[in-house]
């Protein structure tokens, strides 16, 4: 399916999606350079504005200037709009605008929506889009209401309400942006269970994927049945969250730089958030640079896996990781098919999972190699952490972001963009290859392992 623009340039849906995100980023960057966007009324250089706009639109959270102190309320509002548009996808807002003005959603629009939402079919797409928008604003509203019980007493009515809404949107969209200032994130709330658990709840719900959330919501109506996709997402998510929280709890229990002086319940709550936030949220309540080495390695792995398809999250996705693990399990058992929950996963999905994993792995290694040359004095651990965080659209950092060179900033910008748009376009591009060669070459074996 191709769409004509000015009857000259032909763009397919994948190209439109990639170009759409680029246009949103450039528009946001241009606005952020204006004096009205900064707190002191000065012009922000374009590279830092572009970095911030890319990070916001790609719902990452890595920043070269402090969000809470550098930007004016106008600039902060521009950033949260970019986060909301980037989290849901610009096609969601284009559809919302079309519905508001009474415009008919054409077949071309539905095909583009299918690409944007990564769904199996176009039937019911507009209904799903309405549900997504209603669900998003409802969850964000509830999250903001919970935050307001703490932020209004602390900041007053006006600032408290603004902060509550701002952070609810940021964390539901799995963006690591916050307004607490001085790059502190939520470290000042490590003993506040309501703020910590509400943040974790918003991140998990935003990272499940809208199709899964819909099935969970309609569980009773669907005769208590989940699709295989939802079962895999919920299973892998549960293992990563609770398993990760348990490991971090053990590793950080007596760490004086993180949790040693916390109460037992605070340690549990902060361990949960520390396991949830690498799934592309990027907010932290304990110092990431003071975490144990093993905790940082686990965080890198969780960041690379990310959230689930069709969500606001990044990474290779939970289902990709699940398919890779199930394939390994089947190979060890000597089974010809990859099976789970009484169903067989097609070899086409297995091949795409391995292709996606390799493409993402090569992207991370390549950018890490480049930054190891440009960022003189930075350890490879810090560089790898930064690159995986950018690719997974996470936003966690060990402190390297503000020290990046101009070349380093450019490659992190590129990595954030690829992390938000790339994996989706790779999957869809592979899915659209239906041509099969009529030629089959003779089979021959090679030695591996």
- The pLDDT value recorded for residue 446 is 75
Instruction: Note whether residue 444 is domain-resident.
Output: no
Residue 90 has pLDDT above 70, yes or no: no
Segment 43-58, tens digit of pLDDT: 999 999 999 999 998 8
> What mean pLDDT is predicted for residues 308-333?
87
pLDDT higher at 17 or 207? 207
> What mean pLDDT is predicted for residues 15-22?
72
Band (pLDDT 50/70/90 cuts) for residue 202 is: very high
Q: How far apart are CA 104 and CA 205, in angstroms?
A: 31
Instruction: Note whether residue 359 is domain-resident.
Output: yes
Q: How far apart are CA 350 and CA 355, in angstroms?
A: 9
Residue 103 has pLDDT above 60, yes or no: no
Instruction: Note whether residue 213 is domain-resident.
Output: yes
Q: How many independent structural domains does the chain possess?
A: 1
Instruction: Note whether residue 345 is domain-resident.
Output: yes
Task: Provide the whole-model pTM.
Answer: 0.85
Instruction: Note whether residue 163 is domain-resident.
Output: yes
Band (pLDDT 50/70/90 cuts) for residue 293 is: very high
**Tokens coding 346:** 């097609």
Band (pLDDT 50/70/90 cuts) for residue 424 is: low
Quick check: helix, strand or coil at residue 143? helix
Q: Where are the beta strands (DSSP E) in 288-386?
A: 338-340, 343-345
Q: How far apart are CA 335 and CA 333, in angstroms?
A: 5
**Residues of the domain holding 285:** 3-431
- The pLDDT value recorded for residue 425 is 60
Quick check: helix, strand or coil at residue 9? strand
Q: What is the CA radius of gyration of the chain?
A: 22
Instruction: Note whether residue 446 is domain-resident.
Output: no
Residue 27 has pLDDT above 50, yes or no: yes
Q: How far apart are CA 16 and CA 166, in angstroms?
A: 29
Mean pLDDT across the chain: 83
Instruction: Note whether residue 426 is domain-resident.
Output: yes
HSE-CB for 414 with a 13 A CA cutoff: 13
Instruction: Note whether residue 109 is domain-resident.
Output: yes
């Amino acid at each position: 399916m191709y769409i004509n623009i000015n009857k000259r340039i032909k763009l397919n849906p994948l190209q439109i999606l990639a170009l759409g995100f680029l246009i949103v980023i450039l528009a946001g960057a241009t606005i952020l350079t204006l004096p009205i966007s900064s707190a002191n009324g000065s012009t922000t250089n374009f590279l830092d504005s572009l970095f911030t706009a890319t990070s916001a639109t790609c719902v990452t959270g890595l920043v070269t200037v402090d969000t809470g102190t550098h930007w004016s309320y106008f600039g902060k509002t521009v950033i949260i709009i970019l986060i909301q548009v980037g989290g849901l996808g610009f096609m969601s807002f284009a559809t919302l605008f079309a519905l508001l003005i009474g415009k008919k959603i054409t077949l071309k629009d539905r095909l583009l929506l299918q690409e944007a939402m990564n769904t199996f079919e176009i039937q019911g797409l507009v209904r799903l889009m309405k549900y997504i928008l209603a669900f998003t604003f409802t969850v964000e509203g509830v999250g903001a209401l919970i935050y307001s019980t703490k932020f209004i007493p602390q900041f007053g009515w006006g600032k408290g309400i603004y902060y509550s809404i701002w952070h609810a949107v940021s964390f539901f969209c799995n963006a690591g942006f916050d307004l607490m200032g001085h790059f502190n994130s939520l470290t000042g709330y490590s003993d506040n269970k309501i703020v910590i658990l509400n943040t974790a709840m918003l991140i998990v719900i935003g990272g499940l994927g809208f199709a899964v959330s819909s099935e969970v919501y309609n569980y009773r109506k669907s005769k208590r049945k989940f699709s295989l996709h939802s079962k895999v997402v919920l299973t892998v998510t549960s293992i990563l969250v609770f398993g990760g929280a348990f490991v971090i709890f053990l590793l950080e229990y007596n760490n004086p730089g993180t949790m040693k002086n916390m109460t037992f319940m605070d340690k549990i709550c902060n361990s949960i958030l520390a396991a949830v936030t690498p799934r592309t949220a990027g907010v932290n309540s304990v110092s990431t640079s003071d975490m144990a080495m093993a905790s940082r390695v686990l965080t890198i792995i969780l960041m690379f896996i990310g959230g689930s398809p069709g969500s606001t999250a990044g990474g290779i996705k939970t289902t990709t990781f699940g398919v890779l693990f199930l394939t390994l399990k089947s190979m060890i058992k000597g089974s010809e098919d990859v099976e789970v929950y009484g169903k067989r996963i097609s070899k086409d999905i297995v091949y795409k999972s391995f292709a996606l994993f390799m493409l993402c792995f090569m992207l991370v290694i390549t950018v890490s190699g480049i930054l190891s040359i440009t960022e003189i004095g930075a350890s490879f651990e810090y560089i790898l952490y930064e690159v995986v965080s950018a690719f997974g659209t996470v936003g966690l950092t060990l402190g390297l972001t503000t020290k990046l060179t101009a070349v380093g900033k450019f490659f992190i910008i590129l990595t954030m963009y690829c992390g938000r748009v790339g994996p989706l376009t790779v999957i869809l591009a592979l899915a659209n290859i239906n041509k099969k060669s009529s030629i089959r070459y003779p089979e021959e074996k090679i030695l591996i392992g």
